[in-house]
Chain A
Amino acid sequence: MRKNFARLVSLLFVFVFALSACGTPATTEVPAATDAPAATEAPVATEAAPTEAEPFVFGMLLVGPYNDGGWSQAHYEAGLYVEEKLGAKMIYLDKVNPADRPGTTPDQLAEELVAQGAKLVIFNSDDMKDASTTFAKANPDVYVIMASGDQVWSDGKAYEEISNLMNIMGRMEYGKMIAGCAAALSSTTGKIGYLGPLINDETRRLTASAYLGAKHCWEQAGNDPASLEFKVTWIGFWFHIPGFTTDPVDVSKDFYTTGYDVVISGIDNSVNLPEAKKITDEGTPVFAVAYDYINACDVAPDVCLGVPFFNWGPDYLKAIQSAADGSWQSQFLWNGPDWSDLNNHDTSAIGFVKGNALSAEDSATLDAFIADLAGGLNLWTGPINLQDGTPYLADGEVASDQQVWYLPQLLEGMQGLSASE
């Protein structure tokens, strides 16, 4: 009797843990079939594929769920954009990360996409950089786009000649500056929280950009520069993985309950929005800045100051087109916004959508700031010191692309870790 009971209890445990080990968080509902691109869709005639009967097939590995309302969804919708514009066909696999797909590697999964006919594979996360290199070298006849990577940047630190690989990244620095500015304009406490993912070159420079934007607008509004507090808390990964990362909802809550009235998301989704709404509904008005995905504010529009978003479509379209017509060139693309039309779906690599929570007055100020940026204002201009006080840019010195990309630390005046302890 006693033994059977022990067996039962242990069984229970095994299954609970086996299931959790299988990694099936709540977001794993089966994607609705309607979202999937119809395989039978007739190719739209374009110059790229005038003679091809078969549509060009490209694959995409998404680090998060395809409908995460953030980083991965921005990629997924760019894929849909390419499908539409090019008459190409996308096959994708989402949740490509060690927690959701234990026992697999991205290069292995990329091969599965190739087996389904993909001639080009997009790796959408920094997390897959090593795997994209491995895969590109092992499959020289497959084109590879490593989003956010720098392997084929000839001026980069880790340059490698991989002719079938391309790096694409948007100059989100501008988006983050605008986000920082919106945050500073709206904050009454002067305390801005930044929800950081993991620490690397990319996240350091983007966090620093948000800080530069915030500092600029804070000072422009006539506030004491010293009264601005800007703090980043890193959760450990691009999104929350229970058991492995800090919960970003908790981090947001901590910010809001300790006087930070704006939290800027730097992670792959914008879970700070619902939290801001909750706190606001409870009587303390606070704000949030979303990230990555054009419609990210929709979750809680009334607390959203805006969202800097990636618009991968235009660059992906060009790259995939070049792969399809044979004009492919291995290159490093780091394109900025189309200043003439920031949110142009067909031309701008990044954009910024203002949220409902931004007051009309602040909105006007923000527009002026954007105009300044378009007019050549560069906040990456000295004097700027690194967080530990080391001079980074001398007075008047403008940061080079390398200096920005490989920002070694956070900047002086920012709180939070520059590297892990």
Chain B
Amino acid sequence: MNVELKNINKHFGKVHANKDITLNIPSGTIQGILGENGAGKSTLMKILSGFIQADSGSQIILDGKSVVMNSPADAIQYGIGMLHQDPLDFPPMKILDNFLLGIPGSFFPNRKEATQDFNLLAKEYGFSLDPENYVDSLTVGERQQLEIMRLLFLGVRVFILDEPTTGISAAQKEKLFTTLKKFPEQAMTVIFVSHKLEDVESLCDRVAVLRAGQLVGTLNPPYQTKKIVEMMFGKEITLGERKPANVGEPVLSFDNISLEDARLRIKNINLEVREHEVIGLAGMEGSGQDLFMRACAGLVRPVGGKIQLKGQDLSGKSYHAFKQVGVNFLPAARLEEGLIPGLSLTDHFILAEQPRGIFIDRIAGQRLAEERIQSFNIRGTPLSPIESLSGGNQQRAELALLQNPLSLILLEHPTRGLDIESVIYIWSKLKERCHHGTSIIFISSDLEEILQYSDRVLVFFSGKVSQPLDANKTSVEELGQLIGGKGWAEIGDTHA
């Protein structure tokens, strides 16, 4: 389907989010949309998918016909479907029920037939989802797979993906790209929104770059990374140099720890994390790294072994006991687990200080909030409700909630969905903490990020944990092999 956007304008109050954007996307192409956070990508895509309406005068033309879409349902009628940055599904439901949602005329769905269709579709794209499982048991990557399947099943012809590669593993990304590359053959159009240059470069037939609400230009392969970065940011950016850490006293030690949840079992992990050290956890979604991290936070109780933090035995102790010793955990699902929608930035900072006493000192709270907002470069006011901030600013706010001092910071996907400027900023803040003696353990699906910022790396593959690998001596390719389950014999895992 040929998609033509003509003079798209969108105002949110005083903010001009999309400025007169005109873009023609021919049928059967994979169109990349690049831009930093807040560049207007999401707004444009929401307009195209019917979630919001553009200002008058804007035009959307599908196969030469001007259309008006008042809701996502309208958009789907026209064959336009969108996969969101935050997967929009219904956690307490079964996967199959979620899949059936939105299918017209399915008041009494034929479950058996639907299960067959589901499995067929899943097989075609190599997704391994159990239709009878519950959605809340899925990883972010799996939820996205489900959403993709659902949209495919609804007969979507124009496929909008908003930051689809964040939060999914390299292998899942590989699968996704293979899938997407098949779409143009069937005359489907893919619009791929990302801030990751390498993804766009490897996938897209053409790229449009947005900056500050405007279309700054379109590019065709072969791409020049430097040129794209310049278009995105209006300036050149370089990554910080990695310095070897000065490793200090032990902070966390795992002694023969065994972990278990409904899906996997990890046996006999032995690990010592020292001051100043950064440990990256690599692996496909759901390979056990999240379980491992929650055990470090005291949120999951090991079924065996001994955990020590700063010399204290914390085996079997609660999350609060861990917190007392200086462990902070920042979950990936920001608005679900990390922050409290409805409360302001100030409220968050007050709460994070673990206040004692009875009456709130509002003035001190306000001052604290202003300080943190400035030092963490958060775009918002002390009284802004947390949910009104953009994703990147929410992430900065989460970081700003970390107590000081801390012995161990646990991070799940600390930079997922953020533009490169934010990523660099956040890591500089984290490195600062490391410098003062804090250890960091983080999960990322971005292998380059892991190698860039970790001292040592643990690789997880279906319940197996590798020996800590020296990040300096490991390449992205090796890591990619390991998380895919290859090459384990050479490195050995932590099994005793």
Contacts and interface: CB of A to CB of B under 8 A. Distances in A.
Contacts of B92: 2
B153 interface: no
Interface in A226-274: none
A138 interface: no
Contacts of A360: none
A7 to B, nearest CB: 14
Contacts of B90: 1-2
Interface in B88-139: 90-92
B35 to A, nearest CB: 30
Nearest to B88: A1
Interface string A1-18: 110000000000000000
A217 to B, nearest CB: 65
A1 B98 CA distance: 13
4 contacts: A1-B90, A2-B90, A2-B91, A2-B92
Interface range on chain B: under 10, 10 to 19, 20 to 34, or 35 or more?
A: under 10
Question: What 4 A-B pairs come out closest when comparing CB atoms?
Answer: A1-B90, A2-B92, A2-B90, A2-B91
A283 B90 CA distance: 57
A105 to B, nearest CB: 41
Interface in A300-347: none
Contacts of A1: 90
B91 to A, nearest CB: 7
Interface in A51-86: none
A51 B92 CA distance: 81
Contacts of B91: 2
B89 to A, nearest CB: 9
A57 B90 CA distance: 66
B453 to A, nearest CB: 36
Contacts of A2: 90-92
B100 to A, nearest CB: 16
A237 B90 CA distance: 50
A2 B134 CA distance: 15
B325 to A, nearest CB: 34
Interface string B53-94: 000000000000000000000000000000000000011100
A126 B230 CA distance: 92
Interface string A365-393: 00000000000000000000000000000
B340 to A, nearest CB: 14
B283 to A, nearest CB: 30
Nearest to A2: B92
B93 to A, nearest CB: 10
A284 to B, nearest CB: 45
A1 B92 CA distance: 11
Interface in A1-38: 1-2
A390 to B, nearest CB: 66
B434 to A, nearest CB: 39
A2 B90 CA distance: 8
B61 to A, nearest CB: 33
A12 B402 CA distance: 42
B271 to A, nearest CB: 38
A58 B110 CA distance: 71
